[in-house]
Chain A
Amino acid sequence: MLKIFQDFLKSLWPEFYRHRTNVHLNSFYTFTNYRYLWFISISVLAATALAPICIATLIYYQLIETSVDSDLNHRTKQLTVAAKSAVTFFMEERLNALTFTVNENGYEQLTDNTRLAEILKNLKLGFGGVTDLSVLDADGNQVAYAGPFNLEGKNYKNQSWFEQSLKQINYISEVFTGYRDVPHIIITVRSVKPDGSSFILRATLDTERLMQTLSSYKTGDYADIFLVNHEGKLQTPSIHYGAIFTPTNLIFPAGSDESEVIEIFLNGKSIISGHSSISRDLTSTPFTLMVLKEKAGMLKFWQDMSFKFNWIMGASVVVILIVITFASTFMVNKLYRADKAKAETMMQMEQSQQLASIGQLAAGVAHEINNPLAVINQTAGYMKDLFSFKDQERDDDEIVEYIDSILDAVDRCGTITRQLLGFVRQFDVKIKKVNLQKLISQVLSFHKKEAEYRRIHVTVSIPDSFPELETDSSKFQQVLVNLINNAFQAVEEGNCLDIIASQLSPNTIELVIHDTGCGIPEENLKKIHEPFFSTKKNGSGTGLGLSITYGLVKKLGGRISVQSTEGVGTSFTIHLPVKINEGRNA
């Protein structure tokens, strides 16, 4: 269990991050920059996973904002309408009561102070908010008075409200302080005396009652409900604008009965403002009802929710990123390990193929060396025979001849071993100048006897102007050994093997190895450079020769192609740069 956990942790550790290996092994990796791969993987996965979340969040916020705005407007409007009804009802109720009083009692009774005081008492009981009552004649003289102030005998002829009262059947004044220095509203009802002249019943309304009515509609700390007159002067105190009678810029045309909601900015705050004129059927009032709601306050619930939502989103994004990072690390690690194993196998394969090439060479060398050894054996044996059968002299010419023969044969063996050593040593050397003619004749020298016995006509055609190649000689050598070995295996007795080199451009050469051997069937032609593909029976071939050759030519910065017709022959064509680009093929 612990081991599984350890393995799991190990698979999440970015092992590839410190990917360093030798240059030779590196060339077998499919991917070189694992950090980049990792980065790309994380970026693509993160973009794919997070983009929908971000878009959904944006859409969500936009929808919330729109719906909250419309909800706020709607609620403000509802509140405006409700408060307006209440204020209108407040006014109408009192006005109707006054009208009823006038109609019921008539001028005579109303001018009776005792009766008037009784009516005032009833009005206070029934409706409240009525401070005093008075009856005025058409000249503005106060004829009767009931109330707490001693205002009897006063003349109101020059007061603007009196002029208005005479013109209309009933009238509602703005809030003003008048003689008493207390804010109040005057409502009047005009009627006719028995003699035909007009008289006015006036009631003073306490604004306290009105303000209470307005206050009852305040919901929460962020609402502000108050009245202004048509000049914008406050008629009741406002949270935002201050005390009563403060002038404001809230000026709305009179007469519109509709409630309207707009958004305004006040002291840097966004405020939803609803307003409506207070009007009645018969007469309009000077009041406009204002409902102000601070948007921020109203939005508080939504903001709290958004805050929670953001937290959840942020946490989700972090979790997603962690999961993506781990998943990417896991995948890239897997890929890296597979690639590493592949690269190591490929390198081993190349090495074993190189050994196989050398093995093939060694077989050729053994063949070459065996004949002179047989000669030495027989000559030495004969010399021994001479002594034992003939008892011949030491300085006999024949003996000298045989010794020379032995020496000659030993020389032949020496030449062959030197060739092999020189050839095999080149496998170690990296980039150096290569004389193609020399290299080809070295490779062919190991096939000399075979060519002779099997009567294979080998021709090598290299123009005099052919340049010296500057390339990885060991790889190039292996390519030649592989292809020439292959050709020798493909040809029958009496066939031809042509090696033709030419220079295509200042930095490109072409080498064609053509044989008139058995050829490769078309169905195999596509597979010959696949690893482990072999047509040799009994496992005598590894199936790696051509696959490795393809890889080697690629590493030398060249390309290789094959044309073959079954029964006619095969041509391997290699294009190579004259000078290898080290950086690319290190």
Chain B
Amino acid sequence: MQHTDILIIDDEIKFADMLAKRIELRGRSNAVCYDGKSALEWVKSHAHGITLILLDLRLPDLYGTEVLVGIKEINPAIPVIILTGHGTEKDRLECERLGAYRFIHKPPKIDELMSIFEHIRERSEC
């Protein structure tokens, strides 16, 4: 099975696509899901081939936290960065409790994302 470096789950299509392109430019493979259910399907089928997941909190079908719980059920080892436009402090605590790796407000800085990714990759390789 092909390995995917970063999975983007966001319903804002243009944002997700653009982020995907930029990651691609930086030489990392990626995939995009626009809603929670299809994202969970995708994670299920690639359970051990994902390095990092970027997850929006507001999705049209499921809450981001529900998706987070779903991902952790499939493979708790996958780090999940919450990427939110308007998450509150309460949301942050809730997500951290559910096992989120980071909580980042939109718009994210690509270099920051990439350095986190590199850090995770290095750690997993050790």
Contacts and interface: CB of A to CB of B under 8 A. Distances in A.
B114 to A, nearest CB: 11
Interface residues of A, number: 22
Contact of B85 (A374, A382, A409): A374
Nearest to A369: B85
B25 A405 contact: no
Interface string A487-509: 00000000000000000000000
Interface string B61-96: 100000000000000000000000110000000000
A11 to B, nearest CB: 51
A371 B18 contact: no
A379 B19 CA distance: 8
A286 to B, nearest CB: 128
B22 A366 contact: no
Interface string A458-492: 00000000000000000000000000000000000
Given A370-B86, A382-B18, A385-B22, A452 B12 contact: no
B60 A453 contact: yes
B22 A382 contact: yes
A382 B85 CA distance: 19
A389 interface: yes
Contacts of A518: none
B42 interface: no
Contacts of B85: 367, 370-371, 374
Nearest to B27: A389
A416 interface: no
Contacts of B18: 375, 378-379, 381-382, 405
A448 to B, nearest CB: 12
A385 B26 CA distance: 9
A373 B18 CA distance: 13
B86 A367 contact: yes
B14 interface: yes
Given A381-B18, A409-B14, A453-B60, A374 B25 contact: no
A232 B15 CA distance: 137
Contacts of B22: 378, 381-382, 385
Contacts of A386: 25
Interface in B5-31: 12, 14-15, 18-19, 21-22, 25-26
Given A378-B22, A379-B14, 18 more contacts: A370-B106, A371-B85, A371-B106, A373-B107, A374-B15, A375-B12, A375-B15, A378-B14, A378-B18, A378-B19, A381-B18, A382-B22, A385-B21, A385-B25, A389-B25, A389-B26, A405-B14, A455-B61
B47 interface: no
A371 to B, nearest CB: 5
B98 to A, nearest CB: 18
Contacts of B106: 370-371, 373-374, 377
A318 B85 CA distance: 77
Contacts of A366: 86
A366 B84 CA distance: 13
B14 A452 contact: no
Contacts of A453: 58-60
B60 A452 contact: yes
Interface size classification for chain B = 10 to 19
Interface of A: 366-367, 370-371, 373-375, 377-379, 381-382, 385-386, 389-390, 405, 409, 449, 452-453, 455
A413 B22 CA distance: 23
Contacts of A449: 58
B110 interface: yes
Contacts of B107: 373-374, 377-378
Nearest to A366: B86
Contacts of A371: 12, 15, 85, 106
Contacts of B21: 382, 385
Contacts of A405: 14, 18
A374 B8 CA distance: 14
Contacts of B12: 371, 374-375
Listed from nearest, the 10 A-B pairs whose CB atoms lie closest are: A377-B107, A378-B18, A370-B85, A374-B106, A374-B107, A375-B14, A389-B25, A375-B15, A453-B58, A374-B15
A370 B56 CA distance: 13
Among B18, B59, B110, max chain A CB count under 10 A is at B18
Nearest to A388: B25
A371 B60 CA distance: 14
6 contacts: A370-B106, A379-B14, A379-B18, A382-B25, A409-B14, A453-B60
A90 B106 CA distance: 138
Nearest to B107: A377
A449 B14 CA distance: 16
A392 to B, nearest CB: 11
A374 to B, nearest CB: 4
Contacts of A367: 85-86
Among A374, A382, A390, A405, max chain B CB count under 10 A is at A374
A371 B21 CA distance: 18
Nearest to A370: B85
Contacts of B14: 375, 378-379, 405, 409
A463 B75 CA distance: 54
